[in-house]
Amino acid sequence: MAEVEKNIAKSATVTSPRGTVAPAFVSGMLAGARHAGHDPVQLLAAVGIDPRCLAPNGPRVPLNDYAALYNHLNRVLDDEAFGLFATPMRVGCFEFLCRAAITAPHLEEALARSIRFLRAVLPEMAIRIRREGDSAILEIAERQPLAIDRVFSYEWLLRLLHGLACWLVGRGIALDAVDFPYPRPAHADDYALIYTANSQFDAPWLSARIAANLLELPVCRDEPALQHFLDGAPGKLTMLYRRDRELVQRVRDHLRNALPELPEFHETAEALQISPRTLNRRLEDEGSSFRAIKDALRRDIALARITKTQQPVAAIAAELGFSDPSAFFRAFVGWTGISPSAYRRRLRG
C-alpha cells in the first residue's frame, strides 16, 4: 500500500513534455478490465496514474503514463485489445501484425495485409479500405453490437491502424476527415490532436478519409527498425504522430506567428532560446524536423483556406510566404496529388 501511495503522489506532480490525454480515454481503456473484475485504482497505481482522473472533471493524464498503462493492461489481461471484444487479441498479435506489414511494397498493400490479419484476430469488426476518386476511405464497422465501451473500441482501432500506417511510411498521414458512428463525446476536442479537427459524428459506421495517392507511399521499415519500434509498443503508438508534442508545437507556433515570412532554422532556435544542435536533436526525439514542421504548417493552413474560404489561390500563396503562385501550386500537388482548384471542386462535390 505504501508503494501505491508513493506512485499516486508521484503522478500528481508529473508533467509530461509530450502532452496529456483526456481522462475519458483512460476510462475507456480500463472498461474491459473493469468488466473482467479488475480494480481500476490498482491498475492505475501500478503505472503511477492518479486515480482521481476517473472522477468527473478529473485531471488529464500525462501521455507517457497513458502509454505505460496501455502496455500494462495488455500484459495483465493478455489481450492487446483491452478485453473490449469477445475474442481476446493475445499479446504478440501486434508484433505479428507489424511483421505482416513491413514487407509490403507500399502502404496500400500494407493496409490490406493489416486488415486481413485483424479480421482473423478481431472477427467482431469489419474493416476495409476503398478508393473513391481522389480519396481513400478506411471503413470500420461492428459485425455485432459492441457490449463494452463502444466509443473507445472505435477510437482505439482507428488509432492503431492510423498510427501503424504513419510508422510504416515514416511520416505523418493527414486524415482529411473522419465520421464516427456515435454521438459527439465530451472529450471530442482531443480528436483534433489525435485524428483531425474535421470530425463528424452520428455516422452509420466509421469512415476515415485520406488522399488516395498516399496509398502509393513506399513502406520504409525493415527488421532493425521493427525491433527498435517494438521496444515500448504497442503503447508507443499513443505517443507518435500527435499534434501536441511540446517542442514541435512551439516551433509551429513561432513559424505561424511570423507568416508570411518564415524564419530560418538558426533564427527559430535563437527565438526559442535553444541551441541549433539541441533543437535539431529534440525535434528528432519527437519524430519530426524543422523542414517537416514548416511544410506541415503550410499544408494545414493551405487546406483550411482552400476548404473553408473563397480566397484566391494567389492570395493564399502570398499569405504562406511562397515566392509566386506556381511554387504554391507545385507544393499543393505534392501534398494532395491534385491542384488547389481541383481540391476545392472535389470538396464542393
Question: Do 208 and 162 touch, CB atoms closer than 8 A?
Answer: yes
Residue 30 lies in domain: 2-77
In a domain, 46, yes or no: yes
In a domain, 232, yes or no: no
Would you give the DSSP letter of residue 106? B
State the maximum Cα–Cα separation within the chain, in Å, rounded to a whole number: 66
| Residue linked to cell 491502424 | 161
Averaged confidence pLDDT in the chain: 86
pLDDT band at residue 287 under the 50/70/90 scheme: low
In a domain, 263, yes or no: yes
Residue 21 neighbours by CB distance under 10 Å: 25
pLDDT, residue 14, reads: 33
- The residues, any chain, with a CB within 8 Å of residue 83's CB and separated by 6 or more, are 31, 32, 33, 35, 36, 77, 148
The grid cell for 112 is: 490490406
| Residue linked to cell 508484433 | 95
In a domain, 235, yes or no: no
- Whether residue 124 is found in the same domain as residue 191: yes
- Whether residue 98 is found in the same domain as residue 63: no
- Whether residue 210 is found in the same domain as residue 278: no
DSSP string, 117-146: HHHHH-TTEEEEEEEETTEEEEEEEESS--
Q: What is the pTM of this model?
A: 0.68
In a domain, 303, yes or no: yes
DSSP string, 217-251: PBP---HHHHHHHHTTTTGGGGGSS-S--HHHHHH
DSSP lists the bridge partners of residue 179 as 200, 207
99-120 tens-digit pLDDT: 999 999 999 999 999 999 999 9
- Characterize the bridge pairing of strands 177-179 and 199-200: parallel
Backbone region of residue 289 per phi and psi (left: phi > 0; alpha: psi in -120 to 50; beta: other values): beta
Q: How many angstroms separate the CA atoms of 348 and 342, rounded?
A: 10
Question: Do 152 and 35 touch, CB atoms closer than 8 A?
Answer: no
244-258 tens-digit pLDDT: 556 777 888 888 888
Using a pLDDT cut of 90, give the percent of the chain over it: 44
In a domain, 238, yes or no: no
Average of per-residue pLDDT across 179-196? 90
pLDDT, residue 118, reads: 94
Looking at residue 123, its amino acid is P
Cα R_g (the chain), whole angstroms: 21
206-227 tens-digit pLDDT: 999 998 989 998 998 888 888 8
In a domain, 84, yes or no: no
Q: CA separation (Å) from 72 to 48, 57, 82, 265, 303?
A: 11, 24, 10, 39, 39
19-50 tens-digit pLDDT: 788 899 999 999 999 999 999 999 999 999 98
Q: How many angstroms separate the CA atoms of 48 and 50, rounded?
A: 7
In a domain, 292, yes or no: yes
- Whether residue 66 is found in the same domain as residue 111: no
Q: Nearest 5°: phi and psi at 305?
A: -65, -45
- Whether residue 73 is found in the same domain as residue 126: no
Picking from 181, 149, 175, 179, the residue whose alpha carbon sits closest to that of residue 162 is 175
